Chains A and B, each alone.
Chain A
Amino acid sequence: MIILEDLVKRFGEITAVDHLSLHLEKGKIHGLLGPNGAGKTTLVRMMSTLTRPTAGKAFVAGCNVERDPMGVKRSIGVVHQTLNFDPELTAREALVVHGHLHGMPKARMEKRVQEMLAFAGLEKEANRMVPTFSGGMKRRLSIARAMLHDPEVILMDEPSVGLDAHARRKVWDLVRKLREAGRTLILTTHYMEEAQALSDRVIIVDHGKVIADGNPEGLISEAGRVAVDHPGHAGTLTKFFENREEAAQFLASLDEPATVRAANLEDVFLKLTGRHVNPKEQEGVAANASRHGHSAARKHHS
């Protein structure tokens, strides 16, 4: 459904996307996971024809993003990272304008607008001005808008950023409904639980490169299913084990108290890069855990 071949995007000195190749399949949710500045948005913007690749090729629904941008635009729906609504429009008007822009016949559009308002749970608010909406309502409206013309491919750039747990679940429900409807989704996020809960396939990006690619379960078991956090000389250290028995053995050898938990995608990233995806939330921990993460990785391969 989407083919990226050796894709590169440079902004002056910065290489945002660095010789990246991917094949994304129809009818799946692809989670694009990576820290700030990994190149997720740049990737999505290239797929949605908003940014020109510096080198390489990208095909979306069979159309080359550079040669046939119109073909690409006809088959995609985009939820942009920044909420972008005209402040003078009501929710309904925002959808109607979108419908016209996508050349929808009037009768079908009116039906779809109603359906999408219901889909996003915004029927009662349809005639309210968008600026009076909460962040969560705007996100849901943004998804409804991207869906209005019923595109084959949906590109969502951080659809749940800044939402509380409840609103985030609502967005997840919407995303799952889209997969049930057979749509192909690409969803960028730096929330581990989100990638883990939603994605059929997780693609971890760092410095514009794919560093891991697979289903969430597989990636986690490769890293070691069980994680043990224990205090080290300069902060918390994390060690990974294939199973509880191995972890228990390690625990027995420790003098300090430690936590045993199931490993997650954050750990996968930590092991691969020595850094956390969301460094702010984990301040201080990253640098120490990193060294250990690498040694743990080596251990597993031996």
Chain B
Amino acid sequence: MQAVMAILLRENIILKRKFWKYLASWVVSPLLYFVAFGWAGRGRMVGAGVDYAAFLLPGLVAMSAMTHSFGISTEINISRFYWKTFDEIRTAPISDWVYVVGETMSGAVRGILAACVVVLLGLIFRVDFALNPGLFFAVVLTSLVFSALAISTAMLAKTHADQGLISSFIITPMAFLCGTFFPLGAYPGWLRSIIQCLPLSPAANLVRAAAHHQSLPWLQALYLAAVGGVFLVAAMVVVKRAKD
């Protein structure tokens, strides 16, 4: 437990030192999407009488939680390839799971904070949505899942450039497809089925349900958690193999 805290402590000191840079990155893209899509689509109705801004906000919350918790992979990569601090962790008597859990939690902290910033933006823009424990649960789960994924990809990436490539192949498509910006209704059935399997879809659905006072789709929560479990196991395996 102390070792998990050590990993977290290290990441949190880094987070604290670079806080303003982080905060800026958490604010910029949701703000941009908000202005570009939210404002333009203001007053337009989506589905059953939901204002577009109210539809968009939960999507952005889920997307930010995903993007910024996944961002830990970049941190891990820079530490590993540029600062070489991974060796320092590898020579400490901590097990692989301690490392994986510690980094997953560190990534999740970033995702949760980024999601909170979007919620704050929503309040500032007076978007109609509910703040409740369900929303918080959805954000925490989403952040944990993508942060676990980040660790696997960070270990698989052989260079920092690989990491960028992985992001644009995994994260960017999900960000745009998984019901974040628009409802899935317009897509053909087969594409919709595929999209619904991508982990950001249940994440966005969870956040949206909570934000819109609906009961949480527990089956989707379970699916998301299971995917997270798979990511965790994968992370363990690749961390174990990250020796030369």
- Chain A residues proximal to chain B, CB less than 8 Å: 11, 48-52, 70, 73-74, 76, 78, 80, 82-89, 93, 96-98, 100-103, 145
B158 at interface, CB cutoff 8 A: no
Contact assessment for A103 and B3 in the assembled complex, using a CB-CB cutoff below 8 Å: yes
**Which of the 9-residue segments B13-21, B46-54, B132-140 touches chain A?**
B13-21
Which residues of B in the span 224-244 have a Cβ within 8 Å of any Cβ on A? 243-244
Contact assessment for A101 and B14 in the assembled complex, using a CB-CB cutoff below 8 Å: no
A98 CA to B7 CA, complexed, in Å: 10
Contact assessment for A51 and B243 in the assembled complex, using a CB-CB cutoff below 8 Å: yes
A50 CA to B80 CA, complexed, in Å: 13
Contact partners of A49 in chain B: CB under 8 A: 90-91
Contact assessment for A100 and B14 in the assembled complex, using a CB-CB cutoff below 8 Å: no
Contact assessment for B13 and A93 in the assembled complex, using a CB-CB cutoff below 8 Å: yes
Contact partners of A80 in chain B: CB under 8 A: 84, 87-88
A93 CA to B6 CA, complexed, in Å: 11
Contact assessment for B83 and A86 in the assembled complex, using a CB-CB cutoff below 8 Å: yes
Contact partners of B83 in chain A: CB under 8 A: 84-87
9 contacts between A and B (CB under 8 A): A11-B244, A51-B244, A70-B95, A73-B92, A82-B84, A88-B17, A89-B10, A100-B3, A103-B3
Candidates A52, A78, A82; contact of B91 at CB < 8 Å: A78
B79 at interface, CB cutoff 8 A: yes
Chain B window 82-114, contacts with chain A (Cβ cutoff 8 Å), 1 for yes, 0 for no: 011101111111110000000000000000000
Rounded to whole Å, the gap between the CB of B177 and the closest CB of chain A is: 35
Q: Which 6 A-B pairs have the closest CB atoms?
A: A100-B6, A101-B92, A84-B84, A73-B93, A88-B17, A88-B14
A50 CA to B87 CA, complexed, in Å: 7
Rounded to whole Å, the gap between the CB of A71 and the closest CB of chain B is: 8
The residue in chain A whose Cβ has the minimal distance to the Cβ of B92 is A101
Contact partners of A83 in chain B: CB under 8 A: 84
A96 CA to B8 CA, complexed, in Å: 13
Q: A51-B244, A83-B84 provided; 6 other pairs, C-beta below 8 A? A: A50-B243, A80-B88, A84-B83, A86-B10, A96-B9, A101-B88
